[in-house]
Amino acid sequence: MEINKLSSWLLSSSPYTEYNTRLELLNQSPDDSNVLAARRKMIAHPQIQTLLNEVVHWPGNILKNHKDASHCLHKLVFLADIGLRLGDPEIGFIVERILSHQSQEGQFQVLVNINPTYGGTGEDQWSWMICDAPLVLYTLLKFGMSCDDERIRNAKDYLLSLVRENGWPCSVAPDLGNFRGPGRKADPCPLATLEMLKVLALVPNVEPNIVRTGIDMILGMWEKRREQKHYLFAMGTDFKKLKAPLIWFDILHTLDVLTQFPCAVADPRLQEMLVIVSKKSDTYGQFTSESVWTPWKEWDFGQKKLPSPWLTFLVLRVMRRANYSQN
């Protein structure tokens, strides 16, 4: 499919795909009448309204599994990713609910329940872990909160302080006791490191060495993917499957984060990932989900039979950032 036909296909799909295509692939101004119209349609779209009606009850269900794609946290991240901001319906209210639960360490908390078998209390409690705290901070930044806000700065600085020479480890709030993920204590957590890079892409004036540490951890794992696994995360067959929304540790989520850093784009290891993803397109340049999150089955990326406009947008955005040509 020619570029203009591919763009037309994206523009004629869901309003959230149209809106982001206009902004990020076609470089249209946020004030352009077509962009504004797409944004209005996006906010009014029934699927988006359904998500807003769910996340307004933040924190929603108890977080027992960070891979639970139905959890309020992941829906909140998706709304931030597609472009909802402070000032949009319900977002300000949701942000205030999030800000009302901040730990002494500065982290914005979610409701969790850790089984005593794994070192928890077995009771519902407000707390945080390194696999959710960066995502909550990410949504606040994406929604438009300033890094100069003391609450945001405290959360960011504490998370930055946790970095080690090999990336971010599995870390939890002191009130969760001895709980940590299933891995060696000295190993970095790939998901936590990816999520921290996701945050740092939005933060100005971060120490370059800290960013480089996170990037090297991820790309080093890719380089040694046949023999290396941290906290049960691997870069095998499942990792390479295209999947949306960007929830877990997989190739598209990894590329979406890393291509925001020029030093990562220039790395041959990232270029290898780009080649793998680019070869997954059909003859029209469209991309189809290879794995799906069941709670999102009603969305265009929640099935594996037809090309997905949103998934295609995500891949094209990655390729554009990396100045990667499939030809």
| Domain membership flag for residue 9 | no
Percent of the chain with pLDDT over 70: 98
**pLDDT for 17-58, tens place per residue?**
999 999 999 999 999 999 999 999 999 999 999 999 999 999
Q: Can you read off the two tokens belonging to residue 35?
A: 């962009």
The pLDDT value given to residue 232: 81
Q: Among 231, 256, 239, which residue's Cα sits nearest to residue 77?
A: 256
pLDDT in tens, 59-92: 998 988 889 999 999 999 999 999 999 999 999 9
- Note down the domain range covering 300: 236-327
Torsions phi, psi for 29 (to 5 deg): -70, 145
Residue 244 resides in a domain: yes
Residue 294 lies in a domain: yes
Over the stretch 193-218, which tens digit does the pLDDT of each residue have? 999 999 999 999 999 999 999 999 99
Helix (DSSP H) and strand (DSSP E) numbers for the chain: 14, 2
Give percent above pLDDT 90 in the chain: 85
Q: Mean of the pLDDT values across residues 101-130?
A: 88
Length of the chain: 327
Where residue 256 falls among pLDDT bands split at 50, 70, 90?
very high
Asked if the model's pLDDT at residue 143 lies above 90, the reply is: yes
pLDDT at 327 over 60: no
For range 271-289, the mean pLDDT? 97
Three-state secondary structure call for residue 126:
strand
Res. 94: pLDDT tops 50:
yes
- Whether 163 is in a domain gets the answer no
Q: Measuring CA to CA, how many Å separate 48 from each of 15, 75, 78, 187, 309?
A: 10, 10, 10, 38, 16
- Choose the weakest-confidence range: 1-15, 26-40, 56-70, 144-158: 1-15
Q: Give residue 239's pLDDT.
A: 97
- Which residue pairs from 36-42 have beta carbons closer than 8 angstroms and sit at least 24 positions apart in sequence? 39/15, 39/83, 41/15, 42/14, 42/15, 42/16, 42/18, 42/82, 42/83
Residue 227 lies in a domain: no
Calculate the average pLDDT of the chain. Answer: 94
Q: Is residue 270 part of a domain?
A: yes
Section 105-113 average pLDDT: 94
Q: Decide if 311 is inside a domain.
A: yes
Within-domain flag for 245: yes
Indicate the pLDDT class of residue 326, thresholds 50, 70 and 90: low
CA distances in angstroms from 127 to 112, 163, 170, 172, 247, listed in the order given: 7, 20, 15, 8, 20
Q: What angle do CA 301, 303, 308 make, to 5 degrees?
A: 35
119, 178 in Cβ contact below 8 A? yes
With beta carbons less than 8 A apart as the criterion, state whether 129 and 65 touch: no
Number of domains in the chain: 1
Give the per-residue pLDDT at 1: 46
Query: What b/e sequence results for 200-229 when a residue is b if at least 16 CB atoms lie within 10 Å of its CB, and e otherwise?
Result: bbeeeeeeeeebebbbbbbbebbeeeeeeb
pLDDT of 116: 76
